[in-house]
Every structure is written in C-alpha cells, then in structure tokens.
Amino acid sequence: MKLENIKLKTDYLNFDEEFFHKVKPTPLKKPFLISANNEVAKMLEIDKDELYNSKFTDLVNGSYILDGSEPFAMCYAGHQFGYYVPRLGDGRAINLGELKGEHLQLKGSGLTRYSRQGDGRAVLRSSIREYLMSEAMHALGVPTTRALAVIGSDENVARERWEKGAVVLRVSPSWIRFGTFEYFYYKRKHDKLEQLADYVIEQSFSELSQKENRYILMYEEIVKRTAHLMAHWQSVGFSHGVMNTDNMSIEGLTIDYGPYSFLDDYDFDFICNHTDAEGRYSFGNQPNIGYWNLSMLLKALSPLINMDKGKEVLERYPTYFTQHFHSLMCAKLGLDESKDRSKLIQWLFNIMQNDAVDYTLFFRTLSEYESKDEIGKLFISDKRIIEWLEEYEKELPCKEDMKRVNPKYVLKNYMLQEAIEKAETGDFSLVDSFLYIAQNPYEEHEEFSRYAKATPHKFKALKLSCSS
C-alpha cells in the first residue's frame, strides 16, 4: 500500500473529551530517516519503497497527516514508585490512528495537555534504544509494542546536556494502561470507567464481549497475560526499570522502554534505573511488582466487578507466573516440562548468582557444549557448576531445539551505547546492524561474534536514568 492510500481509524475519539486531547504534532527541524523496519511495514501492509520516500519521514515527523488521522494524546494516571499521581497522560506521545489492528503513535512529537514540566520531546539516544529493543524483544518471543521507524533532526533538546530531538513511530494493538482505568476510578467517574472497559473488551478481548461476566473475565485475562509477561522477562533476563502502573499495558505487552537493561552477569538484585535507589523495580522483584500493579488495577475496577471474585482471580497470578516461567526455563534447558524441574533451576540460579556468569552466554554455551570444561570456564570457580551439570545430564536434555530458544545475541546496554555514540556523530550504520541482529538473535552472524561474548568488564551493569 502507498501512503496516500492508507486510511486510519480513530475510534477512541468517540469517547468524551476527558479521555484525550486532540493535538497536532510539532514537527522537528530538518528531520531525516535513521532507520525503517521492513518487518513492521509488512505487518501494516505498507510498501517497502514508501519507507524511503521523504513523505514517510514527514509522516514520522508529524508534518504529513494520513487520511482519516486525527492526532490525539491519551489521558491516564498511575502509581509511580508506589504513589498515586492523579494525572499523567501522553506527555510526549501523539496517536495517529489505527491501521490493520495496530495503533500508530509518535513518541517525541511535541507538547500535549499532559506534558506537565516536560518539553514533549525524546532524544536520539532514548529513541534508538526504544526502536531497537522493542524489535529485539519481539524476536525473542516476548510480548511487546513494536516500532516502524526512527527519525533524527537538527533540533536541540535540553537534558543534562544539549542533545538532538528524535521521534519513534511505534505501534501497538493497544495503548491502554492500568493507569487509564485508575484515572477514572479515582475521579469517581464510574460511567466512564465502564465505557473504557467496554472499549478494551471490544478492542483487545472481543471473544468476551457477549459474556455476562465480561469485566471479571477481562481482569482474569489481564492477570494471566501480565504473569506470562513477567515469566518472559525473567527467562530472557530483561529488566524494565520503571514498572509504574502507567507503564503497564492492559494487553500484557512490554511498553515504554526507558532505562531498561538486559542482564550482563546473572544478578537477581540488579537495578537498572539509577533513580530507583531502593530497588523497587530490581530484576528479581519484577514478578512481585506485576502482582502489586494488578492489585491496583483490581481496585480501579472495583465498581465493575465483585471484589471477592476479583481477589480470587488475582490469587491465581503466582500459579500463572510459576507455571509459565517453569515452562520457559525447561525449554532453555532442553528439558521436558512435564516433570518438576524447579529445584534444578533454583540450584542453577544460586550458582550463577555466586559466580558472576554472563546470563545469555551461559545458556547459549549450554546449548552446544561438548565438554563440561567449556561451561566450567565461564564461572569463577567450576566446581559447583560441574556438580550441577552432572545432575543435569542425568535428565537427558534434548539439545536439538536449545539454540532456537537461547539467543546468541541480546542487545546489551554497552552495545546500544556504542550504536548511540556513533549515531551522535552522524553514523547510523550500527543502528541497522543491531536491528538485523535483534531480529535474528538465534543465528550465528560470525561478523558480529564479539557481541556474543561476555560483556567487557568496564561496561558491566551500566545504570541509566529516566530523563530521556
């Protein structure tokens, strides 16, 4: 499809104006395309050639408006680091409309009613991080929003230093957050809460639309999906960094990529967000926070559902999480999931925690080792892991499929940093290389094999801030 033939839908605008702010993007100066993603273009049925047309750059910059598009920002609230903030909303994101079941959104495209003290902008570094990481997560099988393109510009944006403004065109089947429900609950606007629930069911859980008890069934689906998302994050070693309820998707997708990080060495207590001094959003605490966030969502849904039933549903979360995590870890180990492997798995994590071993490299090596020494030398001391391997081998792992679930490459922070530093000098070659690696993480890519090694010591466990 050509850009001029695209027609977007904006059903969200049928709501009362309290749900959104109709606002046009503010284009950046001298925009240029950094990278476009053919896979997402294919999903949206946009012709590949269109991506390299200046009109496409204008679309991402907000100066070319597609047919049917009526840009708007969404209103929401949320619990940030445990405290309720009554009004947040898209402060720097502007929705364009829906195409093929995906909602197109520009991030970094200027002020909206919800910008508060912010400038409505996103800088080059954070835009590259979101663009690449959402694709990497998708390729690893982790539910996530995705990105069609990233553009740069000549516009100065003030952060801790002057940086350049950029925009990501991101897509998702839904941008509704737990915090969208919280907004109407705490404002005591229960009629709007109900309208929102009906919209979410129609858009995201349409199989429930005719059911009498559809609100509780919707909540159950969100509980299940959130548990599964946490299991995915823990199994691939992903730390989100800012699990506020406004960053929790009602479809159980990874959204709002900020100071996230993949683990370098396995560390249960790893904190990637340097403003999170107490480790509320530490790697190991993510599943607990998923539960806490769901309990906040339950409270927000209390006018619509029976709370005893709601609590019963919430109490199924630990089981959903544990079962899915067990199944994903068994696949990583090449073991049949019908037997309880939790002791073997926990034993392995204990050794990894003590011996500072690169999480991704360990599982990839386990998928293809010939002698135990190959594994042993990844660890500070090989004694305990060799004992573990002896027990593991008795379970007769099936190596065949392991390389298809244990990536050779994940986008570690130091890699992204390298791509960003190059990009800041005007060289975007690594952005495209990393997009390719991100989308094909299980393949060998000999020319990039240095990125499959353990993270160089000086780059380990980099912490990032939210200001992006």
Number of residues that bind Mg ion (CB under 5 A): 2
Using the Cα atoms of residue 157, residue 433, residue 149 and residue 145 in order, give the sign of their dihedral.
negative
Of 205 and 257, which CB lies nearer to ligand AMP in the complex structure?
A: 257
Distance CA 338, CA 108 (A): 47
Instruction: Note whether 468 binds Mg ion by CB under 5 A.
Output: no
Residue at shortest CB range from Mg ion: 256
One-letter identity of residue 416:
L
Please state the closest distance from residue 92 (CB atom) to Mg ion, in A: 9
90 binds, among Mg ion, ligand AMP, none (CB under 5 to 8 A by kind): ligand AMP
Binding stretches for ligand AMP (CB under 6 A): 88-92, 114-115, 118-121, 242, 247, 256, 258, 466
Place of tokens 């506020």: 244
What span, in angstroms and rounded, lies between the C-alpha atoms of 96 and 187? 27
Strand, helix or coil at 52? helix
Q: How far is the CB of 247 from Mg ion (least distance, A)?
A: 5
User: Would residue 49 show up in a list of annotated catalytic residues for this protein?
Assistant: no
Alpha-carbon distance of 261 to 231, in angstroms, equals 16
**Tokens describing residue 310:** 């709601």
Site for Mg ion in 229-258 (CB under 5 A): 247, 256
- H or E segment at 323? helix 317-333
Three-point CA angle 97, 99, 104, nearest 5° = 45
- Token duo for residue 96: 């364009």
Task: Give 20 or 363: the residue with its C-beta nearer to ligand AMP.
Answer: 20
Report the residue number, 153 or 247, with the smaller CB distance to Mg ion. Answer: 247
> Under a CB-based contact definition with an 8 Å cutoff, are residues 420 and 123 in contact?
no
Pick between residue 119 and residue 155 the one whose CB is nearest to ligand AMP: 119
- Per the residue annotation, which of 16, 58, 198, 246 is the catalytic one? 246
**Residue 229 Cβ, how far from ligand AMP at the closest point, in Å?**
17
- Distance of closest approach, residue 72 Cβ to ligand AMP, in angstroms: 14
Closer by beta carbon to ligand AMP, 115 or else 406:
115
Contacts 24+ apart (CB under 8 A), 40-43: 40/146, 40/147, 40/148, 40/171, 41/148, 43/100, 43/102, 43/146
Torsion sign across C-alpha atoms 166, 49, 103, 9: positive
Could you give the residue numbers annotated as active site?
246
What residue ranges bind Mg ion (CB under 5 A)? 247, 256
